[in-house]
Chains A and B, each alone.
Chain A
Amino acid sequence: MALLEVKGISKNFGSLLANNDVSFDVKEGSIVGLIGPNGAGKTTLFNCITGIYKASKGNVKFLGNDITNLPPYRVARLGAVRTFQIVHTLKEMSVFNNIIIGAYLRESNSEKAAKIAEDCLDICFLKEVRNKRAGDLTIGLKKRLELARALATAPKLLMLDECMAGLTSTEVKESVELIKNLKIKGITFLIVEHIMEAIMPIADKIVVLDSGIKIAEDKPEIIIRDKRVIEAYFGQKFSKRLQQKGGAKTNG
């Protein structure tokens, strides 16, 4: 039984079929990348999984529980937490207070929650901006804050939606290191990304969406050679570049 089982999810908005019979699994302790061109339905899929949208068809199982029609807060409580493509912080509150709100999910005692928040603050390298107003942070720090807040909820599955967008290459490298460290701690990841240099080296498996349909699901080194994916997304030149860079994990 995989940690997350997506079975035949379809979502339509009127006549627009944003997700069309999408199915895949996420094994515990792995990192799964979800890629595809813009408009492929990646964020819609996230929204269906986390309960923001009601899927038109299909179901989602998390830890064996059917979470298909649960409201977002219930999904988060079960341990599947997501971040947003357009970063959502609680703007008027301090960085620390943003994180402690995540911590309060598992710990109602203020002192214990504060301790958890301190730890997450350290892990995500946010100690320096502890008391700053969240709305005043740069986008890189805001994304780390969102991650820290999600982390404070002690998640089993972290679903990151384009968390590298808008970051400098140094920041991207730092985020990748962070994700690798968190994986060692036992957190499973489902990551939507456009920056291939970030996701390909760390992913155990890549799922590719195009126009709402899953067109491929395999190890990264196979995906970068897959004809359908090249046609739909990478293009020949970029695919060659990825293959040359050895842009896929060398270990299985």
Chain B
Amino acid sequence: MKNKQIKKLDIYWFIFIIILFAIPLIPQVAGNTFIQHILVLVLLYASMSQAWNIIGGYCGQVSFGHSVFFGIGAYGAGMAVVKFGIAPWPGVLIGALAAMVVAVLISYPCFKLKGHYFAIATFAIVEIFNRLFMVWYWVEGALGLDYPLVEEGWKNFMWYETKIPYYYGALILFVIIFGLVRFIEINRFGFYLQAVREDQETAESTGINSTLVKLMAMGLSAFLAALCGAFFVQYSLRVDPPMVMCLSISMTFVLVTILGGTGTFLGPLLGAMILIPLQEYTRVLWGGLGSGIDLIVFGILIVLIMVRQPKGIMGMINEITKYLKTRKSNLDSESPEKV
């Protein structure tokens, strides 16, 4: 039964991806840079959050430190372009690898900690990295890196006149990360992640090396988060510590996933699809400088979700399907022929 379920979902998924590829061809989208911007951000945040989902959702180790990896990825690409004057790609790879190494080294001792202690340790790490990057001379400290003008195109991953190639770049990142997570989910590693989340002692008693599983998940998650960071800097044309290595970016990874549903495949996408347009539109409507109304709305939304439906949108969908199923079986059992 499981195999049949896999195939159906994957076909829908395939169709969905094709639709996504075709979206920029719609005239309303092709001409409107604001919509393109939103689409790019949705795909980026969905990818980021899916990367976090691997360790935070599936494996249940809720880390608020992912902005560090995001930032390392951003700085990797940024340094390549700004400091060394080359294409960003080598920097992207180095940044991702560095993020992975940092993640494994830091989280190994932290995995000894349970519950809130672990969460607070991740806060501490973000703050430490933030301060360190602010004074690190080699990466220009608080000034950050500002992108010079470079030749447009895929070699430099830079376009100035249009956002559409960025959209396709984000889409490729999205397909890679989501594809990878789907593969994990239906194979052994995904099951091991969930077993560790559910009950570490039980998992160990069935032969699972929980520490190794957590480290692998953290490393992979950090690598992918760094890729997203690299995309981010190429899109924003500058990076400094408060932009990328801050608690609010970390919280965004977490909130998007929670809104959609932690530990679910579609969760990060659903969460991004709701949160990002909301964030951008409220900022345009009410943001204004210093008025903060957009964030008030955002904050209220977070409170409402956590109070009413902490399992997120996927949780709501599951409840609705369960309700419909039980209604159907009730109706069936009430049908006259059964008497």
Contact = CB atoms under 8 A, between A and B. Distances in A.
Contact of B205 (A76, A97, A108, A111): A76
Contact of A93 (B187, B194, B205, B210): B194
B198 A92 contact: yes
Given A100-B191, A101-B195, A72 B202 contact: no
A82 B206 CA distance: 8
20 contacts: A71-B204, A72-B205, A73-B207, A73-B210, A82-B205, A88-B205, A90-B198, A90-B202, A90-B203, A91-B198, A92-B194, A92-B198, A93-B194, A100-B191, A101-B191, A101-B192, A101-B208, A102-B207, A110-B187, A153-B206
Contacts of A68: none
A222 B63 CA distance: 58
A149 to B, nearest CB: 6
A125 interface: no
B323 to A, nearest CB: 16
Contacts of B201: 52, 72, 88
A53 interface: no
- A-B pairs, 9 with minimum CB distance: A76-B207, A90-B198, A105-B207, A88-B202, A72-B204, A77-B207, A104-B188, A73-B204, A73-B209
B2 interface: yes
A114 interface: yes
Given A73-B207, A101-B195, 12 more contacts: A71-B209, A73-B210, A76-B206, A77-B207, A90-B198, A90-B203, A101-B203, A101-B208, A102-B207, A104-B192, A113-B188, A153-B206
Contacts of A93: 194-195, 198
A81 interface: yes
B270 to A, nearest CB: 19
Interface string A45-81: 0000010100000000000000000011100110001
A43 interface: no
Interface of B: 1-3, 186-188, 191-192, 194-195, 198-199, 201-210
Interface in A14-57: 50, 52
Nearest to A111: B3
B186 A110 contact: yes
A73 B213 CA distance: 12
A84 B206 CA distance: 12
B93 to A, nearest CB: 28
B122 to A, nearest CB: 24
Contacts of B186: 110
B199 A90 contact: yes
Nearest to A83: B205
Interface in A81-121: 81-82, 84, 88-93, 96-97, 100-102, 104-105, 108, 110-111, 113-114
Contacts of B195: 90, 93, 101
A209 interface: no
Contact of B191 (A82, A97, A131): A97
